[in-house]
Amino acid sequence: MTHYMPDPVPLYGPDYAADPHAVYAKLRQYGPLAPVEISPGVSAYLVTDHRAALDLLQDPATWAKDPRLWQATLPEDCPVLPMMKWRPNALFNDGDAHARYRSVITDSFSLIEPHLLRQQVAHAADLLIREFAATGETDLVTQYARPLPLVLFNALFGMPDHYSPRLVAALAGMFESTGSEKANNADADFEQYVMELVSLKQGQRGHDLTSWFMDHPAGLSLEEVIHQVVLTMAAGHEPTTNLISNSLSRMLSNPDYYSTLSGGALTARDAINDVLRSEPPMANYSAHFPRRNVRFHGTWIHANQLVLVSYHAANTTPDGLPADSIRTDGGAHLAWAAGPHACPVKQPALLIATAAIERLTSHLCDLELTVPRDQLSWRPGPFHRALAHLPARFTPITPDQAGVTPWTSSSPSPSTPPAATSTPKPNTSAPSAPQPA
């Protein structure tokens, strides 16, 4: 059997980030699967068709998530490995191992009451808005949408607020190119943060995700707890940032949404549904590997060859509009993937994004973009649909003014006691942190 792979189309670099739909149009000429390169020399097939994407995602008997045989073919310093190499966590395992890890994450998130989550989002939002509210201008990506999930995770995992700048700084450093000194330092800082978090919770459990991960009946080892913490923070950060910022960019550039800021027709949730369908925060991912040589929707694929799913292409037609076959109520898109590895935190993530947008626009009700949406720049990378910046201005607000402000209206911070630095260190080393590609 021969497996001919035509010249792959690059998904890294500025062309794809600037106009993904032009690239999808080219890819669709190959049929439901197209050859791509996710980094120089690293090729994959990308599924661009909605039906084929569902067939793959819902067939774990044919398609495995475990990347170990594939990753053994790559050089150790390959820049996609931090995002894609095997770890003992939900994302990179199949069958019973996957179900065990995933149950820890889903069961623990289900213990967070939605109204308390909303309060914690408001608290995180207010902390961030205070930093720029008096200036009248902000970058809604770097000063709001990117740090917000981390300030929130810091609290949900049980750390006091004064720890969150460390988490924000560490993950911001990882947006530097992989392998750079700054990225390596950021990786080490993130590891140190997670080790301190776990040490603290070993000594004193709290009402938080880390403690629930540790005490879950699945009985994770300490190393496995650390890996699920790292996965949850890493898997939750980038897409939540993009869901908030992509939605805000639509709301602030479309008068139908803009009027909602002063009581109009379309809501933040409409913008979020619009983004999930036509600009999903994760554009391409769901790395899968066939367990044997297979012919799939007309293409022969080797066992253990990398196949990715383009949620973005599968959701949209060549002109970038939601595909006809997709319902308009937000129900049938693939932004959360599908099948056993679909996002386990969909409902909390929707609540987080909605509450973050509503909190921002309620405090800064005349927000407007300073750069038109069609001139905004998008961060290169094969996996995400991510704005690099979202510059905006508004009428400044100050701590001493009357009425509800981010200084007066904040919910109480979580009741976790301050972290002691002298608690015993766990007898294991932290995994290296996944880095954005």
Contacting positions for ligand HEM (CB under 6 A): 90-91, 102, 105, 231-232, 235-236, 239-240, 243, 276, 280-282, 285-287, 335-337, 341, 343-345, 348-349, 352
Q: Which is nearer to ligand HEM, 342 or 371 (CB)?
A: 342
Closer residue to ligand HEM in complex, CB, 257/336 = 336
Contacts of 236 (CB under 8 A, 6+ apart): 149, 153, 345, 349
Least CB distance from residue 311 to ligand HEM, whole Å?
6
Question: In the bound complex, what is the minimum distance in angstroms from residue 272's beta carbon to ligand HEM?
Answer: 9
**CA 411, CA 406: separation in Å to the nearest integer?**
10
Tokens of 174: 């990882």
Q: How far is the CB of 289 from ligand HEM (least distance, A)?
A: 12
State how far the Cα of 268 lies from the Cα of 362, in Å rounded to an integer.
11
- Considering beta carbons, is residue 85 or 341 the nearer one to ligand HEM? 341
CB 275 within 8 A of CB 243: yes
| Contact partners, residue 326, CB within 8 Å, separation at least 6 | 50, 277, 315, 332, 333
CA distance 97 to 88: 9
Residue 23 identity (one-letter amino acid): V
Nearer to ligand HEM, 105 or 140 (CB): 105
Minimum CB separation of residue 382 from ligand HEM in Å reads: 12
CB of 96 to ligand HEM, least distance (A): 13
How many Å apart are CA 186 and CA 174, to the nearest integer? 6
CB of 140 to ligand HEM, least distance (A): 16
For 56, the token pair is 């793959």
Nearer to ligand HEM, 184 or 320 (CB): 320
Give the residue from 382, 193, 208 showing the smallest Cα distance to 286: 382
Closer CB to ligand HEM, 225 or 352, in the complex: 352
Q: What element of type H or E holds 46? A: strand 42-47
